[in-house]
Amino acid sequence: MNALGGISLGARPVSAALHFRALGGRTYLARQFTPHPFHITRPFYHPGDPAGMATLYLQSSSGGVYSGDDLSLDIRVEAEAQVHVTTQASTIVHDARGRTGVTQTVSLNVAEGARLDYLPDPAILMTGSKLCNRVTATLGRQARVILGDAQLCHDPEGRARPFSWIENEIELIGPGGTDLLDRFELSGTEWPARTGGFACSGMMIVAGYADAGAAMQRAADNVPGIYAGLSVFSDRNIALIRFLAPDGAALSKVMTATWHAAATALDGHPPAERRK
C-alpha cells in the first residue's frame, strides 16, 4: 500500500529578517535572522554608489522552492539608510506534482529618507509549478524604492508544458495609505494568450521619483525584442514600467537596463555594476 497520501507534505512556515541602519553616513546590517533555506552574503560597498550604500545578496541553500514551502522575508531599512538587495540567481519554482504549491511573502519597510533597491532575479516557473507571491512595501516620507519583479516559464523537457498557476501581488503603502496595488492571477495554459506568446514578463517600479519613468522607457526600448509600456502616477510620485521578453537573456538585460536607468535618474550618476 502506498502511504504517501496519508503524509502531510506541507513544510512549516519559515521567516527571515534583515534590518539595516545608518551610522556615520554608512549603512550596515544591524540584525539578521536567516534560517534554512535563506542565506546571505556579507554587505558590500561599491565605489560610485550613493555614499554608504550597502549591497547584500540573498542566496538559497535548497536549490529552489518546493510545494508546501511557506517562506517570508522582512526587510527593514531605518531612516537615512541606503541598501541594494538582490539575489545570487533566479529562484526555481519546482513542479508542485499536484500538491499545494509555494507561498512567498516579502515585507519591505523603508523609513523616512531611506532608500531601498529590491531586485530579486526572476522566478522560474517550471512545468506544473504553483506560486503565490506577495510583496508589500511600506514607505516613510521622502523614502525612495526601486522594486523589480519578474517571471519566466520553463519546461525542462522542451515541450512547452505549462506551469500550473501563479498569483502575484505588489502593494506600495505610503504615509497616507495604499498608493499602488498591482495584482494578477494566471494559469499556465492562459499565459501564451495573455502575453502574446512571450515566455517572460516583469516590471520595474520606482517610488519616490516618478521622473525616472522616461529614462526607464528609453532603456527598455534599447533592448532588442522587448515589448514595454510605462505608467506614471505623478500624484503619488510613482513610475512603473512593464515588459514582455522572448527569453531569459532578454529579460535579464531589460531588468538590468531599467534598474540602471532608474538609479541614474535618482542619483544623478550611473550605479556600480553588480556581478552575479
The pLDDT score that the predictor gives to residue 264 is 98
Q: How far is CA 42 from the centre of its chain?
A: 20
The pLDDT score that the predictor gives to residue 7 is 33
Name the band, by pLDDT with cuts 50, 70 and 90, for residue 9.
Answer: very low
Q: What's the structural domain count of the chain?
A: 1
Other Cβ atoms less than 10 A from the Cβ of 168: the count is: 20
**Domain assignment of residue 133, yes or no:** yes
Residue 250: its H or E element: helix 248-267
The angle at the Cα of 201, spanning 196 to 207, to the nearest 5 degrees, equals 130
The answer to whether residue 4 scores a pLDDT higher than 80 is no
The pLDDT score that the predictor gives to residue 67 is 95
Q: What phi-psi label fits residue 225: left (phi over 0), alpha (psi between -120 and 50 degrees) or beta?
A: left
Mean pLDDT of 60-83: 96
The pLDDT score that the predictor gives to residue 77 is 98
Residues 6+ apart with CB under 8 A from 173: 136, 137, 138, 139, 179
State how far the Cα of 196 lies from the Cα of 232, in Å rounded to an integer: 24
**Domain assignment of residue 6, yes or no:** no
Q: What percent of the chain has pLDDT over 70?
A: 96
**Domain assignment of residue 274, yes or no:** no
State how far the Cα of 170 lies from the Cα of 97, in Å rounded to an integer: 27
**Domain assignment of residue 41, yes or no:** no
**Domain assignment of residue 226, yes or no:** yes
Name the band, by pLDDT with cuts 50, 70 and 90, for residue 251.
Answer: very high
Cβ 12 vs Cβ 236: under 8 Å: no
Q: Select from 174, 113, 175, 121 the least CA-distant residue to 149.
A: 121
Residues 6+ apart with CB under 8 A from 33: 15, 16, 17
Question: Structural domain of residue 188, as residue ranges?
Answer: 64-77+91-264
The pLDDT score that the predictor gives to residue 145 is 98
State how far the Cα of 257 lies from the Cα of 61, in Å rounded to an integer: 28
Task: State the chain's maximal CA–CA distance in angstroms.
Answer: 67
Mean pLDDT of 185-207: 97
The predicted-structure confidence for 215-241, as pLDDT tens digits, reads as follows 999 999 999 999 999 999 999 999 999
Name the band, by pLDDT with cuts 50, 70 and 90, for residue 276.
Answer: confident
State how far the Cα of 171 lies from the Cα of 96, in Å rounded to an integer: 26
pTM check: above 0.85: yes
**Domain assignment of residue 159, yes or no:** yes
Mean pLDDT of 59-65: 92
Mean pLDDT of all residues in the chain? 94
**Domain assignment of residue 1, yes or no:** no
**Domain assignment of residue 148, yes or no:** yes
The pLDDT score that the predictor gives to residue 39 is 95
The answer to whether residue 10 scores a pLDDT higher than 70 is no
